[in-house]
Structure 1
């Protein structure tokens, strides 16, 4: 790293510049520099902060990246209670609410209408313009301190812009997972054979409670701010506070509106019933608030909710249709997923012909039968799902749907592992839909990114008996391709060039491309960071696998099963011969000292103040070496919480020195 003449000044300048660029990008959708220029600035700031940690500013954009690991979340008491709102589903209830308000405060009352976003409510506390605490709603009086995770959300300013804000204040907001991010996340989970997330709200809630803030950062959460609290309050109305916090750098949805009467409120509600489908976040209603803070104070609260606000909930978007058939799809992991085929019906502005049924248990629970008139809903879920049956319209001779016992494609008997809802086809080597799905996964953008190949070409190649697995792709020759239907010389050459280019794909993406069950792109990256090459990963035992951050029992067992099969090892061998990268190219961290020269370490468990990745970086930067297994030659075991008991037992038996987190950090002076 180039030395800084004045590190404090450079850190301050970079912090301000990057924060400004982030503000322009996330609040105003303006990119003033290229991605490369931005990344180089951020990289320089990270280097300086590592060299001079005492100079890092509380608003540093590097806090957005995450990396803090939290074993447990502290409980915090809300200065201002986070009360829930009373709900209504009818116009009559809204008019009754308006009557109650006017009875107390008179007829001169103004309302603010806001979209009721389907996310997770949080409290954001600021002191002297800096973000100091983020907390969940909890029970309304106490919540969890999730500050490290909230810092990774770009819509939450780490430092307030402008002036005129109180020394201490609180902003309320709704954290959400954008619909596109949710769909991408579910696609990745489907690719790795994991259970799909039910809806964006549950996904956002689960993300906020992750122990590793780097995972939170990768999920790209958003946050709309909708409330302001301080004592005293410098604003007269709620609408003034919304305009002010937006100027200070908070993301405020532009869907709110002032309404001078309850009739105007109802106009807003009717307008947004269908218009809300255009938003990038799920909504389930409208929040109506009295605009004047003085009138809010006069109206007061019940034990559970404010008397000056109410939530109007839209009815679930539902329709009725006739069930024509159940189609069974076989994925690349062999999972057999039932999909309902229905008569076309208009639902939430789109024509729906297919709906999710999830699994055999759901078919049995609903007692679905062909010809049934079914209720289809599209609420918080993205994919329409069948929620019930109109039994009054059931055909007299209808029969329960019998879930297949054999694979619909290859007739192999299906299996279901204990504790799992899905049935699987175990015929990995001979089931055509599985084979083609595996190949499509291998060439996909997040994997090998072989853009000249697509599902249609993969199907052609498979039917022509040219490819059955990923290694076969690299045996393709010009004469194989040029004779295929709709394939000219140019297309054939483009495919071969694309295959050649894919050999530069880094190890973590090659690992993801192999299609090991439960190994999504994030897990593959973690494994590639921990194990230097495919041989180290292949030879790792169970205890070594679960010692890797984010790797649990299910993933470890899947890896062991995958590498136990000779046909998988043969494919990897052929891919290595073809020139694919099965070795990590992570650059070693900059050397800080030789304090740990000649010493070897095993890291295991969860740590309080540093992540496992950071521990590994510290060891290497001080001359030490991180290994994955315990032997008599090991110098130290760095033991965190929840480490594998067999590792601890083996280290104790061999007389290995066991260091706590604090003992290790003292050893290196960190």
Structure 2
């Protein structure tokens, strides 16, 4: 056992090193196949020995569902930063710094402080992480909380690939601060296949890190940048440069955009550069952070009750505003989930008039002190062209009318059921929004791709012909459709032809069309590829499903329960009787495929004339390419269509081959 344990330790360290080069430095040292071989070897050894080392990379996939978060007291306080929003405020901060330094130097002429010099860093818009390492091992991770006490989220943070589970520094205890975030390209890729798209990157990261199921955190593929050592019982730094080098030496991911300068005018120029480039970044920032670099000066200047005197956050012009919260309505989705939607007094944010805002759930309303906020002034924020969100009330007083959280479904009146953070209506047979939502989803492009079908079509068929279930669509006749308003014979025949064509859709598309809870397009494709037939998927046990990579307990349980529902079973039986085949896609023998893309990493951006993004991705994967959502040094090709944006710019900056001619792309595919 001792020999096996030593072999596992060496293998773990080897994998950690390759992860560091791959995820943190963006300089892969192995092919994906060679890496997978090492990882599989470790998994096999863990099975044989029954031992999983504390820093094993296999722990990153997420473990058991947690019952709650434990409080964690930070070893050193996490401070907020005072804010400046213009040059005048920045000059006022600098004047205070100069005055404090001069005052100290006049009293200590034998040990004067140096003239101030500065570090300028990006101010990330994510969730603060505080990591504790003891003798080189990650032993705790926590949220900021109130700065003194946070919530322990070690299981969640372990899933972030850029967080080192062990570090070379073994000489004591350190606390390292950073920012957990979801990159915008990762959010875009996630939303392309998600059952419930995420509204913005910040909420996506915060929701993942505060989710009691670490597998949900793992599925979001979060990232993190690190910028501070808040506590150490051994090591001391003389300046900020030394601290940054310590972080780099210990395999933390440090953002490359750190600039060191000697004058406040240089700082102002750098802040202007950052503001100009903020929307070109693949992650959210909302400002810049200016810090004095000399550590002794920091100690002398100290802190106010809330802020360090030696640092300030320069906040960019906010994409935020205040307005009146007028009303909150509760909308029913196709899965029965009840979502609150706020109506606000029209306000302009960044050139866009906002009247609707998102509220995630009832808990979100309480957390943001909005329980009695109707008619009150609230903060709202708009980012990344998504639906704006309400951040909270402007005042803490309960000066508005109460938001009434429903107990019955606002559509059908059924009693609502609380599941996790959300309320659900379980009346899927007679709740109109659910019926319309399921019909629309079933017919959508990524599902059965029934041309000419729209939400209005679903509403009309439900209202006038009593269509309630996707199986009902295949019973429609020309005589029925022609009798409907705005349905001429040609339109009716087109719909029937589209329905007939949909019967040939593949198994993965059919599974996605069914709308299995907690599964998106990626999961249904995995199910189709793994089991090979609809019957096998329907009969799969929880154990069989969990054994599949990336399918956890919650998703597996959703699939099993879905195919036990007699309503679903009857619907599938009727569709099969109507001729819906749901055949698995025949896999090509990639050893026979001749394409320059085989084994290459490819990024798609922009739009094409002949192919949709999904069709292009399928064809690339069919010839053995790996299609990813973000451009990096590991990217081999970028396929750029019309209106390609920042990904194209980054590819050119990195010198990655770009194909902008669609015909050339098709020829390279071998078509």
**TM-score using structure 1 length:** 0.58
Query: C-alpha deviations, 1:41-67, integer Å up to 9, x for none?
Result: 42331121121244x544321121121
1:260 CA displacement: 1.9
Where does residue 168 of structure 1 map in the other structure?
172
Q: How does 1:97-246 map to 2 (within 5 A)?
A: 97-106=93-102, 108-160=115-167, 165=169, 167-178=171-182, 180=184, 191=196, 200-201=201-202, 203-228=204-229, 229-233=231-235, 235-246=237-248
CA RMSD, 1 decimal: 6.1
1:236 CA displacement: 2.5
Where does residue 95 of structure 1 map in the other structure?
91
Q: How does 1:238-317 map to 2 (within 5 A)?
A: 238-317=240-319
1:201 CA displacement: 4.5
Is 1:22 aligned to residue 23 of structure 2?
no
- The alpha-carbon distance between structure 1 residues 417 and 258, as it changes in their structure 2 partners (threshold 3 A), is same
Where does residue 663 of structure 1 map in the other structure?
none
1:121 CA displacement: 2.2
Between the aligned partners of 1:328 and 1:454, the Cα distance in structure 2 is 30
1:344–1:351 CA contact under 8 A, matched in 2: no
Query: C-alpha deviations, 1:169-217, integer Å up to 9, x for none?
Result: 52533343415456777898874xxxx9786545544433444433332
- The alpha-carbon distance between structure 1 residues 214 and 382, as it changes in their structure 2 partners (threshold 3 A), is same
2:443–2:449 CA contact under 8 A, matched in 1: no
Between the aligned partners of 1:345 and 1:335, the Cα distance in structure 2 is 29
1:519 CA displacement: 7.9
Where does residue 43 of structure 1 map in the other structure?
40
Between the aligned partners of 1:461 and 1:258, the Cα distance in structure 2 is 60
- The alpha-carbon distance between structure 1 residues 328 and 169, as it changes in their structure 2 partners (threshold 3 A), is closer
SS state at 1:172 partner: strand
Is 1:378 aligned to residue 382 of structure 2?
yes
Query: C-alpha deviations, 1:269-315, integer Å up to 9, x for none?
Result: 33333532333333333322111112212222334432212223335
Between the aligned partners of 1:140 and 1:360, the Cα distance in structure 2 is 26
2:505–2:582 CA contact under 8 A, matched in 1: no
1:129 CA displacement: 3.6
Where does residue 67 of structure 1 map in the other structure?
63
Query: C-alpha deviations, 1:475-494, integer Å up to 9, x for none?
Result: 899xxxxx979989x99998
Between the aligned partners of 1:138 and 1:340, the Cα distance in structure 2 is 27
1:175–1:204 CA contact under 8 A, matched in 2: no
Between the aligned partners of 2:519 and 2:99, the Cα distance in structure 1 is 61
Query: C-alpha deviations, 1:523-555, integer Å up to 9, x for none?
Result: 9999x99xx986899xxxxxxxxxx9769xxx9
- The alpha-carbon distance between structure 1 residues 365 and 5, as it changes in their structure 2 partners (threshold 3 A), is closer
1:342 CA displacement: 12
1:97 CA displacement: 1.9
- The alpha-carbon distance between structure 1 residues 93 and 359, as it changes in their structure 2 partners (threshold 3 A), is closer
Q: How does 1:450-465 map to 2 (within 5 A)?
A: 450=447
1:338–1:359 CA contact under 8 A, matched in 2: yes
Gaps of 5+ in 2: 103-113, 393-408, 478-489, 542-551, 584-671
1:89–1:315 CA contact under 8 A, matched in 2: no
Between the aligned partners of 2:471 and 2:236, the Cα distance in structure 1 is 67
Between the aligned partners of 1:209 and 1:360, the Cα distance in structure 2 is 15
Query: C-alpha deviations, 1:371-399, integer Å up to 9, x for none?
Result: xxx997426994235899xxxxxxxxxxx
1:173–1:223 CA contact under 8 A, matched in 2: no
Where does residue 653 of structure 1 map in the other structure?
none
Query: C-alpha deviations, 1:66-105, integer Å up to 9, x for none?
Result: 21554455554433x2232342244433222212222233
Between the aligned partners of 1:282 and 1:88, the Cα distance in structure 2 is 18
Between the aligned partners of 1:133 and 1:320, the Cα distance in structure 2 is 38
User: Which of the numbers 80, 85, 102 marks the counterpart of 2:80?
Assistant: 85
2:183–2:282 CA contact under 8 A, matched in 1: yes
SS state at 1:131 partner: strand
1:344–1:353 CA contact under 8 A, matched in 2: yes
- The alpha-carbon distance between structure 1 residues 299 and 380, as it changes in their structure 2 partners (threshold 3 A), is farther
1:355 CA displacement: 4.2
- The alpha-carbon distance between structure 1 residues 337 and 122, as it changes in their structure 2 partners (threshold 3 A), is closer
Between the aligned partners of 2:341 and 2:66, the Cα distance in structure 1 is 40
**TM-score using structure 2 length:** 0.58
